[in-house]
Structure 1
Amino acid sequence: MQKIEAIIFDLGGVILNIDYNLTRIAFEKAGIKNFHEMYSQANADDLFSNLETGKISEDNFYNELNKRTGLYLPTIEIENAWNAMLLTFREKSLDFLDTLKPKYKLFLLSNTNHIHLNAFNKIYLEKHRDKRFEEFFDKAYYSCNMGLRKPNADIYEFVLEENKLEPGKTLFVDDSAQNIEAARALGIQTILLGAGEYIEYLPL
């Protein structure tokens, strides 16, 4: 690996344990049998893409989902199903980030939405913490606040340009192949984190 000066981390499946199947199962139980066609790790239809780029509000998301499915589920049921994928933070990975901070510029780049943002911050605060989650990084970037979304090239370019990072000296760690491929196409060094792999075992 070429010498690196900065590392950009994904969140879900990298620092936060997630299980997309739990959300799929919850929505299927609620009556949305084709949920896997609407949203998965590898794909998001326009409704979910708009949610993750902040183009629609949470209320509009709930209303539009009900309109499209014709089920008119209570907001709390949709919220709970949508948040079901969010599990626990990887505590050893958080500790590892602290060891990296003196050596590299650290960034978070996550496709997320305000519903999940609120939910995973609550999960993070379930344990006693001496700092906010974002303080592990020089800056945390969330797609819903940027109007941009992985794997589109412009989201990577934005982070590189705003922080004056050289692609060849920047490492991107993600658990989704399409996101890795997009970053690599821009000359960014990449590591695809597979199932059962953890950042604390990376040769950094």
Structure 2
Amino acid sequence: MKAITFDWGGVFTQNTFDGRSTQRIADRYNLDLEKVRAVYFAHVHQLELGKWNLETFFENLMKEVGFTAPLDEVIELYLGSVLENPPMYEFLPTIPENFKVGLLSNNYPVLSDRLKADPRWSRFDAMVYSNEIGAKKPSPESFKALVEATGVSAENSIFVDDVEENLVAARALGFSTILYHYSEHDRFLKELEAWMNA
């Protein structure tokens, strides 16, 4: 058995979710983008590790950036910031059944639940979210959780991510890897096919 495993943001989305969500918040409330991003990225690990819920995170962000808005509105703006990568969604159900399919994502409360409920994700055999396991990429613990979830060794798995740092960590544990960019989807398909047929 072999496993094909993926990141979410930057693979199943165009660009990063964080970059798009902070841009939309700055635009909606006429805020300085760099200030929004500075506060956001200073604390987003609290979401990724499941230590804060969305309400706590955005209450803190509004306080530190210096603006007020309805909390529910800010959260829905954030959750609605996904810009999907259609070619990857088209490819997912075509993966042969003799391959396990896994996901390892540095993700957030509520958003991870929405992804799991998406019927298009039924092809996944295992989904591992940092906010649920308390460990995030590129930590070895996160990749070990992925191996445990798929039941396939790292040596028999390939990991697809848009961040080289995460791929370096995966290779150190024995994974094969592919660096993904949505503008080079055809290259990804060729590299994955070569691995699948090796």
Q: What is the TM-score when the length of structure 1 is the normalising length?
A: 0.77
Q: Which structure features the higher share of helix residues? A: 2
Which of 99, 113, 133 is equivalent to 2:108?
Answer: 113
Give yes or no for the alignment of 1:86 onto 2:82: yes
Residues in 1 aligned to 2:139 and 2:23: alpha-carbon distance in whole angstroms: 28
**What are the within-5 Å matches in structure 2 for residues 38-49 of structure 1?**
38-39=39-40, 44-45=41-42, 47-49=43-45
Q: Secondary structure at the match of 1:17?
A: coil
Percent of residue pairs bearing the same amino acid type: 27
Instruction: Specify the SS of the correspondent of 1:196.
Output: helix
Contact (CA 8 Å) 2:139, 2:169: kept in 1 or not? Answer: yes
Equivalent residue for 1:149, pick from 136, 141, 146: 136
Superposition deviation, residue 190 in structure 1: 0.5
Equivalenced residues, count: 187
1:76: Cα distance to partner? 3.4
Give the letter aligned to residue 98 of structure 2: K
Gaps of 5+ in 2: none
Q: 1:8 aligns with which of 5, 8, 17?
A: 5
Aligned to 1:127: none
Structure 1 portions without partners, runs of 5+ = 125-131
TM-superposed deviation, 1:118: 5.3
What secondary structure, in the 3-state scheme, does the structure 2 residue paired with 1:161 have?
Answer: helix
From 160, 177, 180, the equivalent of 1:190 is 177
Please give the alpha-carbon distance, in whole angstroms, between the structure 2 residues aligned to 1:9 and 1:174.
Answer: 6
Q: CA RMSD in A?
A: 2.6
Does structure 2 conserve the Cα–Cα contact (< 8 Å) formed by 1:26 and 1:84? no
Distance in structure 2 (CA, Å) of the matches to 1:184 and 1:196:
24
Report matched runs for 1:35-184 at 5 Å: 35-39=36-40, 44-45=41-42, 47-83=43-79, 85-90=81-86, 92-117=87-112, 132-184=119-171
Query: Is residue 149–residue 155 contact of structure 1 (8 Å, CA) maintained in 2?
Result: yes
* Equivalent residue number for residue 17 of structure 1: 14
Q: Is the 8 A contact 1:18 1:86 kept in 2?
A: no
1:129 paired residue number:
none
1:21, CA displacement in angstroms? 4.0
Once the two structures are TM-superposed, the CA of residue 72 in structure 1 deviates from its matched residue by 2.7
Output the CA distance in 1 between the equivalents of 2:182 and 2:91. 18
Change (3 A) 1:200 1:54: same
| CA distance, structure 2, for counterparts of residue 22 and residue 58 of structure 1 | 17
